Structure 1
Amino acid sequence: MSVSLGLGGRGGTVLQKAADGAWTGTTAGPLDQGFHYYHLTVDGGTFNDPGTLNFYGSTRWESGVEIPARDADFYALKDVPHGRVEQILFASPSTGTQRRAFVYTPPGYDKNSATRYPVLYLQHGWGEDETAWSNQGHANLIMDNLIAAGKTKPFIIVMTYGMTNDVRPGGLASFDIKPFQTVLVDELMPYVDTHFRTLADQRHRAMAGLSMGGFETKLITSANPDKFAYVGLFSGGSFSVEDVNATVGFKNKVKLVFVSFGSRELQGGRSGPPGGPRVDPRANADALKKSGFNSVFYVSPDTAHEFLSWRRSLREFAPLLFKD
């Protein structure tokens, strides 16, 4: 029997069966800290590990493993007040379907019935779905801990499936954002504002996403500067001065553009969304700041295109939001 392990985006690590029946192997080098998808290949077939949890990634359910991170405390489950993540189903006339989203409401939401909250629309990456930010990203725990520490204002987070059509790896250059933009802006946002106690105006609304979700965020917020005041791209491209100037109203209406990458993504100082042009995101951020625009650039140390980069990005982004 041939058994190998695909872990952390690397090629297969061959496993050998020990005398006690356990299959073991050693990777070519140490893995980055944080979360990694993995699967088993047995005699050419792909299987999940039956002994671990599964997470939706790479357009399929895969096993996942956590390499303990030195700074894991910020997304640890602690004895602090906790918010709630609930599933919602909303009608999407444009696609002729019922679609799903998950909504994080902060601690105290159910008790403080008169309080209204800002909203962050937070998008997953290619091959993932609306479960990613709660399951792999621990967005709810990150928020609970930040709120308990007094580092961020409480706000609602909405996470929905970011695809209305199939996109293969490397195909984002030809991706048509308009169908999903319709779902998000014309269908989901009105549902959320009707069913949750939101502050339903531009200055209390943000959008961010990782990888493909960042690419979507840039396109949708650029087309709708009257609806989003805060923008976050996590390993999903960058904003240049030319990008901002090309959109009427963006410079005057949008209060923040936050761009982040893992340090291992910035090869030669340049990066970009999958399938897109490689640019210098730090130079773009610096140029925006010099032009008088509120631009923040963050680099996650010793990580690549992976969830520890994006967990840290949310930790850095959240305290910057809704600071009226």
Structure 2
Amino acid sequence: MKILLKLAFSSLLALPLTVNAQQESFPEGTVPNEHNLEGVQWPRLDAQGNTYFRIHAPYAKKVQISFRGPMTREADGYWTYVSPKPETVGFHYYQIIIDSISAADPATKSYYGMSKWVSAIEIPEGLPYDKVQNVPHGDIRMKKYWSEMTQAWRMCYVYTPPQYDKNANESYPVLYLQHGGGEDETGWVFQGRMGNIMDNLIAEKKAVPMIVVMDRGYALPPGAPTVRFDNPQTNAFLAGAAAPAPNAAQRQTPRPAMNMQRMLGMFPELLVKEIVPMIDASFRTKPTRENRAMAGLSMGAMHTYMAVLSNQDKFASLGAFSGGSAGPVDQIDTLYDGVFANPEKFNKQFKLYFMSTGSEENPERVKAFADAMKAKNLKNVVYYESPGTAHEWLTWRRSLREFVPLLFK
């Protein structure tokens, strides 16, 4: 009797799902967005990169998807939107805007961007380097620690390579990897797919096994006002440039003016004085400058310049993704106490100096600085330009893929 009741109950549970699946039809050739919650069918996309949204809001007067046009009201209480042309390849933030109220789409996973939890849609690149593959996988651990400088508990994510726990006598070099403005320490873990990229590169023997530390890039003295990136102008830059824009001009929206000192805070100092010693004490690291690197995207690239160029006794390699240059190219000899003015000293100090940018985010300044460094006979300088991408996660995933194989060789 119990078995029969269980079978009957299971059938009843399954019935509505079957009926709904039969009743609902989808645009031909479309599949669910890969960031949807499990089993959720909308939003969708097709092989050409067109996107399809469907939102149930029967009492709303106006609904739209951020960085896209307004949605169309249907008779059944749903609102729909189909992109007028294929959207750009990559990972793009978005929100639902219902009668002027913006919120994350409950149909998708949420990601921290623009200083808030938002949704994402992905137009697949079609390459395996950032996908989960059948290779040995490292672990991503959460590490909490007390900061005397900020008088607060902080947390970072730490990637340890495959076999870290089994090879108990082996020590590893360390890469400190920073997020951009309006994002946090979760960015490289989820949006950036750092773990997949590292696992695949290590499995292919393209990269040395290493520890990767991803900390929160906001650090201010106790009582200082919090720095946020949630005003409309900043959002347009941080997300609008990353989102599929209708034209090139929108994709190249200039960075709004902001208090740079407050934005960067004291994180570079915190990294050197507290985070690096904490990581060396907590993990099996190789605690020498030759085995320590730092990289970051956008704001994190500026943190990287400040931390590495001011502490050359602590780091031997740096990577700046979509972070401009260390300064104006016509002042190259005076920047950071003349670090670029002495080729012999520079070439001894730096094992790798890597700069990258997207081809659609005005790369001329970064390339000009890299060219000027090479013209001065500075060695180990690498410039990478991501084709067809702007200030967005696909630029940074590709940059990490190109950067990591060059480290610790």
The normalised TM-score by structure 2 is 0.72
* Residue 235, structure 1, aligned to residue 315, structure 2: no
2:34 paired residue number: none
Q: Is the 8 A contact 1:222 1:250 kept in 2?
A: no
* Residue 78, structure 1, aligned to residue 133, structure 2: yes
Determine helix, strand or coil for the equivalent of 2:266. helix
Structure 2 residues not aligned, in runs of 5+: 1-60, 221-226, 235-256
Structure 1 residues not aligned, in runs of 5+: 271-279
2:281 paired residue number: 194
1:269-280 aligned within 5 A: 269-270=363-364, 280=365
Q: Is the 8 A contact 1:124 1:213 kept in 2?
A: yes
CA change 1:244–1:28 in 2 (3 A) is farther
* Residue 3, structure 1, aligned to residue 63, structure 2: yes
* Residue 289, structure 1, aligned to residue 374, structure 2: yes
Q: 1:254 aligns with which of 350, 371, 379?
A: 350
* Residue 54, structure 1, aligned to residue 110, structure 2: yes
What's the Cα RMSD here? 1.8
Deviation per residue, 1:62-109 (Å, 9 max, x gap): 0111111133x1101111100000100011001100101000001110
Q: Radius of gyration: which is bigger? A: 2
Q: Shift of the alpha carbon at 1:178?
A: 6.0
Q: Is the 8 A contact 1:94 1:182 kept in 2?
A: no
1:275 paired residue number: none
AA of the residue aligned to 2:398: R
AA of the residue aligned to 2:400: L
CA change 1:5–1:117 in 2 (3 A) is same
Q: Is the 8 A contact 1:13 1:26 kept in 2?
A: no
Q: 1:307 aligns with which of 373, 388, 393?
A: 393
Q: How many residues end up aligned between the 2 structures?
A: 307
Taking CA–CA contacts closer than 8 Å with sequence separation of 6 or more, which of the two structures ends up with the larger relative contact order?
A: 1
Q: 2:99 aligns with which of 43, 58, 64?
A: 43
AA of the residue aligned to 1:281: V
Q: Shift of the alpha carbon at 1:282?
A: 1.2
Q: Is the 8 A contact 1:225 1:250 kept in 2?
A: no
Q: Shift of the alpha carbon at 1:221?
A: 0.8
CA change 1:76–1:20 in 2 (3 A) is farther
Inter-partner Cα distance in structure 2 for 1:134 and 1:102: 8
AA of the residue aligned to 2:402: E
CA change 1:179–1:193 in 2 (3 A) is same
* Residue 179, structure 1, aligned to residue 275, structure 2: no
Identity of aligned residues (%): 44
Q: Shift of the alpha carbon at 1:244?
A: 6.7
Q: Is the 8 A contact 2:268 2:304 kept in 1?
A: no
* Residue 208, structure 1, aligned to residue 208, structure 2: no
Q: Shift of the alpha carbon at 1:21?
A: 4.5
Determine helix, strand or coil for the equivalent of 2:303. helix
1:53-132 aligned within 5 A: 53-71=109-127, 73-132=128-187
The normalised TM-score by structure 1 is 0.90
Deviation per residue, 1:173-197 (Å, 9 max, x gap): 3347562123211111111001100
Q: Is the 8 A contact 1:300 1:309 kept in 2?
A: yes
